[in-house]
Structure 1
């Protein structure tokens, strides 16, 4: 569309509610027909008639709001003037300082990432911008589950398979249309994938994007001994035809797994287990077809793969984030489960559970780190945009101190995470369990305690907007409301901190005493 060239005096003549124009970023907009549709009411727009309201507009809105309404409202550009706000593409790297992990910033380098990692990151971000983000916000708000259309795309590109981390299950797969070879996929690719998942800024839907598969199918892959059953279940889930979740927590058993009251008793012929009990706060439980379930058996804990069927009932649990995560209360009532569905050895399920925790906690730290970086970006934008007491917030020393603290916490989480990721790349599954359980536990505890502080600072910076689900403070409100999920799921901060120190004491040399 060809735009008129206008003078400021021409715009100033359109200064009534019946003929309401204004100037924003060196362009003229006709708001006459928009007054009644404005979410903030017509009064504030009528007060802007004929004026340059650029400062006021960006004191209340982000550029994406202007971009949304620009096509139908713009009437011209100002003579001899040029727009200063350049629209950004969601696929592009942010130019805001500290808004991306250090390795993605201009002029910075890292020993951890190759050009292959950079190519992979671009492809994943493009995929999410085109396929996930359009659905994410809608599902987060209405609480409905992931569409089969999106799930199919996650399966077709093998993003579902990549969520299990590196391994032989990727060797014969074409990842993201051939962007990377399955044999080359390492834990840094895993980190990148998880962090791009987090950029939708929809915490409930983030878990609804097959978070249950990420933390349960890994156990099936490693521990289910029946080869035919394992291959069939993996094919069903990774193709998107079936869904899966991890069912450990109960009303009486959270961090204390020994408190489990779900019972699995053998039938007299020894061919099956009869499972009775309940599970609580099960992510993706509402729409899962399989439940990787911890049960109490004769002499310990065992883990069973239980298909949804007769005797399995699920009910929605409403938590602080969206029901799009499918969080469920699960009831098993005399459910018959074949012996072939046992993971690992009978009564040795604690080993299955604990070994599976390492990757789950790693993924959670990846997400927490990226969320903190996103919150830092939002706060930096806001402090350079918001005017209070006739100054931008960034001009206030106390605000700069708050930003410094947030940046330091976010950067330290990411740096420690990348150091641990390198160790994971150098160790096999058993070595990770032996050497990294403690460090990963400590890292997760540190990341979530840091996230709590970042959330508190950010909310104070944004004020009322940091408590509002929509508008400029949306990301801050979401993080403030949901960051504690990662502090609880996968082991609470206190339990993990203690685990980290106990792991140290197991190898502490007596010779130094």
Structure 2
């Protein structure tokens, strides 16, 4: 029997005792394992770290030592590499070959219980989005050089796409990589901005322009950062995620071996777009938990705070606000669970084709849900919700996270447009395939 009754909306339904068709015993055991490790490594001091704007230097190595960085990689995990490095199980005894996207969902959800994307982002963002391009698109030699040290936490990596003049418009990237006269190196020049974990990263999986204008001129390189001539990095102070190491990177004639090319030259746009799918799904999951923390904290406060001779919970207008937020939150979470379940059944190619646009839509919706839950929490906490200390500080802190959710990983308006364009593209493709198979028109209207 639980020692306490959970506050409404504080946990997903499946952790509130409700039946679920998605989770098996492996997932339930994994959830308990993740919760115990997050309670040990993050929860006690995460709030103070976020206030201070930094995490302890040894936090990353502590996660690495527990093999607790590996779940950041997209499922299925790189089993061959993990076995080669002597890693056969994750914490709690979960076999690496049994890890699926529902395990990913559980891990990301648990890591976000601190009520801030900063402390968790300080140790997860780089490896989660910087290593997959090497694993998925890099040749054997490239992987041999970088994968072992990154997977085991001996070295760190980040993803470096955004620039001062190019964010969601990836095809507008201007950082150049020009081959040297002897053909052995790329000479990289340009700037990258808002690069999470950049300050601490030995390498970046970086989008660069190796060809002409537009998407076809983009490639990806593994660019060395720390202690590299021509690389200058400085911290950017942002409104939320203050402890995640947001970085401005200047690259001045940086020599990068041609062998550091990820995949094929000129295919960078494809690699970036596919990598975004994992990023946007995990953002959606983590943001749902932030919304949960904000809403349940406000719910608990309203049960005990009195005004005009009664608790806030006895005021109909308060219940109305909580109800609307709860409906938005649980509806979004139900979609994310169903979405993630699809990921366990589809091949990577099928998922990229069928869910790419919807991933963008899920990410956009997560930001909208967070905005309403966080703003409602601030209002219900009143003056306490506008204060950076005390009983309402969690609402104030989460409210500052909202822009950092609605903008990075593809800004909201771009995501909404991308989602519909992808849905139209898939509709037209399937209509054409159906017409071909039937030997004529289906009678469908054209868009």
1:146, 1:209 within 8 Å by CA — same for their partners in 2? no
1:101 corresponds to:
12
Shift of 1:221: 1.0
1:161, 1:169 within 8 Å by CA — same for their partners in 2? no
1:210, 1:243 within 8 Å by CA — same for their partners in 2? no
Q: How many residues align?
A: 420
2:40 corresponds to:
130
Task: Tell me if 1:511 matches 2:443.
Answer: yes
Report the Cα distance in structure 1 between the residues aligned to 2:143 and 2:262, rounded to whole angstroms: 10
**SS where residue 133 of structure 1 aligns?**
coil
1:55 corresponds to:
none
Distance 1:195 1:114, change over 3 A: same
2:223 corresponds to:
306
Shift of 1:212: 1.5
1:298-320 residue CA offsets vs partner (Å, 9 max, x unmatched): 23111110012111110111100
Task: Tell me if 1:424 matches 2:343.
Answer: yes
1:356 corresponds to:
275
1:294, 1:349 within 8 Å by CA — same for their partners in 2? yes
1:203, 1:478 within 8 Å by CA — same for their partners in 2? no
1:157 corresponds to:
66
1:442 corresponds to:
361
Task: Tell me if 1:375 matches 2:294.
Answer: yes
1:410-461 residue CA offsets vs partner (Å, 9 max, x unmatched): 1011100011101111112222211110111111111111211122211111
1:297 corresponds to:
210
How do 1:52-131 residues align onto structure 2 when only pairs under 5 Å count?
95-106=6-17, 108-131=18-41
2:90, 2:96 within 8 Å by CA — same for their partners in 1? no
Distance 1:146 1:428, change over 3 A: farther
**SS where residue 276 of structure 1 aligns?**
strand
1:103, 1:110 within 8 Å by CA — same for their partners in 2? yes
Report the Cα distance in structure 2 between the residues aligned to 1:325 and 1:156, rounded to whole angstroms: 20
Shift of 1:153: 2.6
1:247, 1:279 within 8 Å by CA — same for their partners in 2? yes
1:461-491 residue CA offsets vs partner (Å, 9 max, x unmatched): 1111111122111221111111221111110
Shift of 1:178: 4.2
1:95-139 residue CA offsets vs partner (Å, 9 max, x unmatched): 222210011112x11100011111111111111111222342332
Shift of 1:354: 0.2
1:141, 1:322 within 8 Å by CA — same for their partners in 2? no
Distance 1:93 1:163, change over 3 A: farther
**SS where residue 245 of structure 1 aligns?**
strand
2:149 corresponds to:
236
Gaps of 5+ in 2: 432-441
Shift of 1:383: 0.9
Report the Cα distance in structure 1 between the residues aligned to 2:123 and 2:115, rounded to whole angstroms: 13
Task: Tell me if 1:286 matches 2:199.
Answer: yes
1:27-66 residue CA offsets vs partner (Å, 9 max, x unmatched): xxxxxxxxxxxxxxxxxxxxxxxxxxxxxxxxxxxxxxxx
TM-align CA RMSD? 1.7
Report the Cα distance in structure 2 between the residues aligned to 1:178 and 1:391, rounded to whole angstroms: 47
1:468, 1:474 within 8 Å by CA — same for their partners in 2? yes
Distance 1:93 1:257, change over 3 A: farther
1:275 corresponds to:
188
1:24 corresponds to:
none
Report the Cα distance in structure 2 between the residues aligned to 1:460 and 1:168, rounded to whole angstroms: 42
Report the Cα distance in structure 1 between the residues aligned to 2:26 and 2:169, rounded to whole angstroms: 42
Distance 1:93 1:264, change over 3 A: farther
1:210-229 residue CA offsets vs partner (Å, 9 max, x unmatched): 3121111111111111x233
Distance 1:237 1:193, change over 3 A: same
2:207, 2:268 within 8 Å by CA — same for their partners in 1? yes
2:438 corresponds to:
none
Report the Cα distance in structure 2 between the residues aligned to 1:465 and 1:177, rounded to whole angstroms: 39
TM-score, length-normalised on structure 2? 0.90
Report the Cα distance in structure 2 between the residues aligned to 1:369 and 1:216, rounded to whole angstroms: 23
How do 1:378-389 residues align onto structure 2 when only pairs under 5 Å count?
378-389=297-308
Report the Cα distance in structure 2 between the residues aligned to 1:105 and 1:273, rounded to whole angstroms: 54
1:247-288 residue CA offsets vs partner (Å, 9 max, x unmatched): 111111011112211111011232211000001111011111
1:408 corresponds to:
327
Between 1:206-215 and 1:485-494, the stretch displaced more is 206-215
1:146, 1:208 within 8 Å by CA — same for their partners in 2? no
1:406, 1:454 within 8 Å by CA — same for their partners in 2? yes
**SS where residue 98 of structure 2 aligns?**
coil
1:8 corresponds to:
none
Gaps of 5+ in 1: 1-87
**SS where residue 471 of structure 1 aligns?**
coil
Report the Cα distance in structure 1 between the residues aligned to 2:396 and 2:346, rounded to whole angstroms: 39
Task: Find the partner of 1:210 among 124, 127, 138.
Answer: 124
Q: Work out which of the two has the higher radius of gyration on C-alpha atoms and give 1 or 2.
A: 1
Report the Cα distance in structure 1 between the residues aligned to 2:290 and 2:297, rounded to whole angstroms: 11
